[in-house]
Amino acid sequence: QVQLVESGGGSVQAGGSLRLSCAVSGSIFAINDMGWYRQDSGNQRELVARITSIGSTNYADSVKGRFTISKDTAKNTVYLQMNSLKPEDSAVYYCKSIVELGNRRTYQYWGQGTQVTVSS
């Protein structure tokens, strides 16, 4: 069973920082891709950042220069360092991972979500 466990969310004032973590566990063959998405109230879930198995990264324009995605391959963990936080960054943040299982097929899994609240 594949699980993605998120941590690091919380409340912070504008200009502050938070670091989110997402650990992947289970009977997996490989992790091909990991990323962070966020969803605020009734809005659609949007991509924040993602990182490939070879380390290539991609960011939403709204977070470029402020957020950094990274990973520790040995620990099957992805991080999202969030600096200079703004109230509009407030949302539930979800970790997503594309994993390859023993059957050599790839599947998409989501974390449980962690709340980030940025106050003025």
How confident is the model over 36-70, as pLDDT tens digits? 999 998 899 999 999 999 999 999 999 999 999 99
pLDDT of residue 42: 82
C-alpha to C-alpha distance for 26 and 4, rounded to whole angstroms: 9
Q: What is the pLDDT of residues 77-105, one digit of tens each?
A: 999 999 999 999 999 999 999 999 988 89
Question: What is each CA distance from 13 to 49, 62, 73, 118, in whole angstroms?
Answer: 22, 18, 31, 5
- What's at 50, amino acid-wise? R
- What's at 37, amino acid-wise? Y
Tokens 């670091």 locate to 19
18, pLDDT greater than 90: yes
pLDDT of residue 41: 87
